[in-house]
Amino acid sequence: MAWIAIIGRRLVQMLPIIFGITIVSFVLIRMVPGDPASLILGNHYTPEAATQIRLNLGLDQSVLSQYWIFVTNALSGQFGHSYSLNASVGQLVSDGLVPTLFLIAQAGLFTAVIAIPTGLYVGLHRGGIADQGSRVFLLIGYALPSFLLGVLLILVFGVKVPILPISGFGDGFLEHVQHLILPSITIAIPFSTVLVRSLRASVIETLDADYVTTALLKGVSWRRVVSRHILRNAGMKVVVVFGVNLAFLVGGTVVIENVFSIPGLGSLLVNSVSTRDYPVVQGLTLLFALFVLAANLLTDLVHVAMDPRLAAA
């Protein structure tokens, strides 16, 4: 019953957030200068065709009516029709969802591989050479823009030492993994800096806890203390930090997909903004927001699973 109560409470808290997101996405795309019909038609522009597109997009109706059309399309799961790509938004989302989810999962895995061993080691050896060196890594990794890091990786591993693909998604599981190595590293490096810093601080704090000192005085082995006490308790805080900063990971895919020409939702979103394709931009904005909210909910559940006392809070 505690789990049901937690999920129900979080879902109720999400409703006003989702409502606000629909309003923001609806308003912001309409603030972008330019006529959507002109951008969609391009060289094929005619007054008659432009009028027809405005009618199909509902731009001849009031703002409230347009918003209602957006909401009803979103509830149907199709989000309307893209006139710049001549396809339903639902179909476009379905086509681009796999590359984006694959990129997020692989980037998250690379982040864990980088952050967990590094944060744990420097936390257990604070003040040492590795700890001092990690600060340089944290500073550079956090300050370096992701698109610039992506370009540098392309130049090194795609041009100077051409050992990895630099664009596309490939065919089949193994090619997907191979094509997304550089994009995943590009996202993982800046994201891991946040987790390394958090895990290091949590490990140092846990090392000074009384229960760790007591366990060592009782003769518990150092390896057991690290695995059962330090890593477990420090890891709970890192899970929260990971969930809070997940928007960074999701948002990073939008930029990186364009840098590496990955046919995912991020590339679709950028291209749709440039053509002012209202249905696509509104649908993808809402979809990305729902993904972040769902991930935050999952983070809360994992946190409660690691510390059942939170279920009563």
CA distance 296 to 240: 9
pLDDT band at residue 1 under the 50/70/90 scheme: low
Alpha-carbon distance values, 195 to 39, 123, 144, 202, 234 (Å) = 42, 12, 16, 10, 11
Question: What pLDDT does residue 99 have?
Answer: 92
Instruction: Name every residue whose Cβ is closer than 8 Å to that of residue 134 and which is 6 or more positions away in sequence.
Output: 118, 122, 196, 200
Q: Which two tokens stand for residue 192?
A: 């891991």
Beta bridge partners of 81: 88
Question: What pLDDT does residue 3 have?
Answer: 65
Give the dihedral of Cα atoms 57, 58, 59, 62; nearest 10 deg: -160
Residue 59 vs residue 17, higher pLDDT: 17
Residue 102 CB neighbours (<10 A): 20
Q: 0.85 exceeded by the pTM? A: no
Task: Using a pLDDT cut of 90, give the percent of the chain over it.
Answer: 6
Instruction: Name every residue whose Cβ is closer than 8 Å to that of residue 140 and which is 6 or more positions away in sequence.
Output: none
40-53 pLDDT, tens digit per residue, is 777 777 777 778 77
Domain at 91-274, CATH homologous superfamily: MetI-like (1.10.3720.10)
Q: Say yes or no to pLDDT of 106 above 80.
A: yes
Average of per-residue pLDDT values in the chain: 81
Question: What pLDDT does residue 308 have?
Answer: 61
Question: What pLDDT does residue 182 have?
Answer: 92
Span 223-230, average pLDDT? 78
